[in-house]
């Protein structure tokens, strides 16, 4: 009876948090909550034991979904930070209920906090699940030896410029804005599109967060040169000499002092798959296969 009331409270919490919630017909779970294409598989118990934690951590890898384990009593076992299995003990459960009540009193929006005290990194959402990455890889490999989720550090340089240039009495305006990306592992420019805005996300369990090997200051000269190169314009200037008109081609380039740059670091999730014929890397945000390897230590198929 008490467990059933707990399920109802959890259902109401997630509905207030903007999730679509339904009962689970699978015996391992009580509820399934979904928002923005992401599912949370929910189970509530009076006591969560060490063997329960081990079982659901393994299950989370198999189903490739986030699992929330809620204890109305106590939690036995080590609840180390895990991006796939989130554990609420009695105190944490009560805290979420309290925050929902406060949000209701204030008339503000309630957000379910699945991150807890775990460390986060600025990253774009992981939209390609491991099972889908396997499907893509099977088209190229006869057998798959292993798969690893890696977070690659990326420097994003947002820039804008406006230069007024003169040729004699004629003023010319050059202006532009945009973004260019550099791999913070190798220092190489990246020709990829990242549509989503990075947000603070708990990395998935078992993933590798690659270190920043190249700082943004050492890349700024290359960024400025790229902006000048891509922002240059070729114009035709007509000059009159006596009765003749001579057309002269001239290249106008933005001035360095007119270029404003702001750098930000974020992480791009990629699936790295080892098969019988080598390696494959797949952008886990866009689902596109990566042609140029993200680091120098991997030779991809």
Chain-wide mean pLDDT for the chain? 85
Position 1 confidence tier, pLDDT thresholds 50, 70, 90: low
pLDDT of residue 9: 94
Q: What is the band of 297 on the pLDDT scale with cuts at 50, 70, 90?
A: low
For range 114-124, the mean pLDDT: 73
DSSP string, 190-235: E-----SPPEEEPPPTT-EE----S-SGGGHHHHHHHHHHHH-EEE
User: Predicted confidence band at 299 (pLDDT cuts at 50, 70, 90)?
Assistant: low
What are the residues whose beta carbons fall under 8 Å from the beta carbon of 147, sequence distance 6 or more? 130, 133, 134, 137, 271, 272, 273, 274
How far apart CA 120 and CA 203 sit, in angstroms, is 7
Task: State the average pLDDT over residues 288-298.
Answer: 76
CA–CA separation, 300 vs 286, rounded Å? 18
Spell out the domains of the chain, with CATH numbers in brackets. Answer: 2-118 (3.40.1350), 130-283 (no CATH)
Biggest CA pair distance of the chain? 102
What pLDDT is attached to residue 159? 93
What distance in Å separates the CA atoms of residue 239 and residue 168, rounded to the nearest whole number? 10
> What's the pTM?
0.63
Q: Does 265 have pLDDT greater than 90?
A: yes
Q: How far is CA 133 from CA 126, 140, 202, 300, in A?
A: 12, 12, 20, 15
């Amino acid at each position: 009876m008490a467990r059933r009331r707990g399920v109802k409270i959890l259902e109401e919490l997630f509905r207030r948090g903007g999730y679509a919630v339904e009962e689970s017909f699978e015996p391992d779970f009580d509820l399934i909550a979904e928002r923005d294409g992401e599912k949370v598989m929910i189970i509530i118990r009076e006591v969560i034991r060490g063997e329960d934690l081990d079982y659901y951590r393994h299950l989370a890898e198999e189903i490739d979904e986030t699992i929330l384990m809620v204890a109305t009593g106590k939690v036995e076992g080590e609840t180390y930070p895990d991006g796939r299995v989130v554990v609420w003990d009695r105190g944490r459960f009560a805290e979420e209920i309290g925050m929902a009540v406060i949000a209701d009193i204030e008339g503000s929006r309630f957000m379910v906090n699945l991150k807890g005290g775990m460390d986060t990194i600025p990253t774009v959402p992981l939209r390609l699940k491991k099972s889908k990455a396997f499907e893509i890889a099977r088209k190229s490999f006869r057998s798959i030896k292993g798969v690893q989720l890696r977070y690659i550090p990326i420097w994003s340089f947002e820039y804008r410029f406006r230069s007024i240039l003169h040729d004699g009495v004629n003023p010319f305006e050059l202006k532009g804005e945009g973004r260019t990306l550099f791999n913070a592992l190798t220092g190489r420019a990246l020709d990829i599109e990242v549509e989503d805005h990075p947000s603070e996300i708990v990395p998935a369990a078992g993933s590798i967060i690659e270190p920043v090997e190249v700082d943004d200051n050492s890349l700024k000269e290359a960024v400025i040169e790229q902006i000048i190169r891509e922002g240059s314009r070729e114009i035709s200037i007509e000059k009159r000499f006596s009765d003749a008109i001579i057309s002269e081609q001239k290249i106008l380039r933005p001035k360095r002092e007119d270029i404003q740059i702001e750098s930000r670091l974020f992480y791009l999730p990629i699936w790295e798959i080892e098969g019988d014929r080598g390696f494959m890397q797949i952008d886990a945000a866009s689902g596109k296969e990566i042609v140029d390897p993200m680091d120098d230590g991997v030779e991809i198929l």
